[in-house]
Amino acid sequence: MSDLKSNDLFDLAGKVAVVTGGAGLLGQVFCQALATAGANVAIVDLDKKKAAAAAAKINKAAKQKVLAVECDIASPDSVSSMVKEVVNQLGRIDILINNAASKGSNLDQFFAPFENYSLQTWREVMAVNIDGQFLVAQSVGNQMKTQGGGSIIQVASIYGVVAPDQRIYKGSEYNGRAINTPAVYSVSKAAVLGLTSYLSTYWADSKIRVNTLTPGGIASGQNSEFNNKYSNRVPLGRMGEASELTGALIYLASDASSYVTGQNIIVDGGLSAW
């Protein structure tokens, strides 16, 4: 196979990609990577202003389109309206990055100890992290069926695969706040893996591929205490950068992975190997 043909496998020119949580830390990096690969991109986020700002920052070719769409993925009506708007504006949906996640409305409650964790907070987080993924996959999947196929990439977390090491959290902070990984986060991300497995076989005859992208720890404002402790748990000896997820993302979105479905691509510096 020539170099040109190899490169063509990763070309997304003419494709339409939807990224939920598109104005967030990972979402913005994903949107830029998809645009760089040639896709038209719908940046879907609860915050329309942030989505529009993210769209304005994307470097794209002259004929490419980048659309900012407001959506509450925990609302069936909002999700349905989002899909209709994307199809009306961009014509179709070929790629879904099911990425949006939430820590709920109260960070103190989100980081509370398991022994007195609030059921209300649990349900609030689950409503986005797994119910929202279900609703978006359901609506976009229906659209993809009418088109004859597509690629769905569901974003999970390393803590949906392995348990967090509780020892690393003493003295650890994120933007000045003491942090941990609560059970609701791990459980919601583990559920993403189950949803991926199910949908990959359910929609296989509709030519819809469904895979999971699982990031390890990404450097994004943690203090040096956390960074050092986490890095010591990783074979490659450091935290990851958001940009290091984009190779796997484009692979799963493109024809390069045309025979890949039901898989979990883990990008974690080797953490899960130990």
| pLDDT for 194 beyond 50 | yes
> Which positions are annotated as active-site residues?
157, 185, 189
- Residue 258 to residues 81, 149, 267, Cα–Cα distance (Å): 29, 11, 20
CA 87 to chain CA centroid, nearest Å: 21
The domain limits of the chain are 3-261
Q: Average pLDDT of 205-216? A: 98
Residue pair 226/244 in contact by the 8 Å Cβ criterion: no
Q: What percentage of the chain carries pLDDT values higher than 90?
A: 93
Closest C-alpha to 155, from 117, 198, 186, 193 = 193
pLDDT digits (tens, 9 = 90+) for 153-172: 999 999 999 999 999 999 99
pLDDT digits (tens, 9 = 90+) for 40-52: 999 999 999 999 9
Q: Given this model, what pLDDT does residue 198 score?
A: 98
Binned at pLDDT 50, 70 and 90, residue 238 comes out as very high
| pLDDT for 31 beyond 50 | yes
Residue pair 72/95 in contact by the 8 Å Cβ criterion: no
| pLDDT for 1 beyond 50 | no
Residue pair 238/232 in contact by the 8 Å Cβ criterion: no
Residue pair 189/209 in contact by the 8 Å Cβ criterion: no
Q: Average pLDDT of 117-140? A: 98
> Average model confidence (pLDDT) for the chain?
96
pLDDT digits (tens, 9 = 90+) for 56-77: 999 888 899 999 999 999 999 9
Residue pair 203/210 in contact by the 8 Å Cβ criterion: yes
Phi-psi region for residue 104, left (φ > 0), alpha (ψ -120 to 50) or beta? left
Alpha helices (H) along 58-182? 76-90, 107-110, 119-129, 131-147
Q: Given this model, what pLDDT does residue 3 score?
A: 53
The 3-state DSSP composition of the chain as helix, strand, coil percent (nearest 5) reads: 50, 15, 35
Q: Can you identify the CATH homologous superfamily of domain 3-261?
A: NAD(P)-binding Rossmann-like Domain (3.40.50.720)
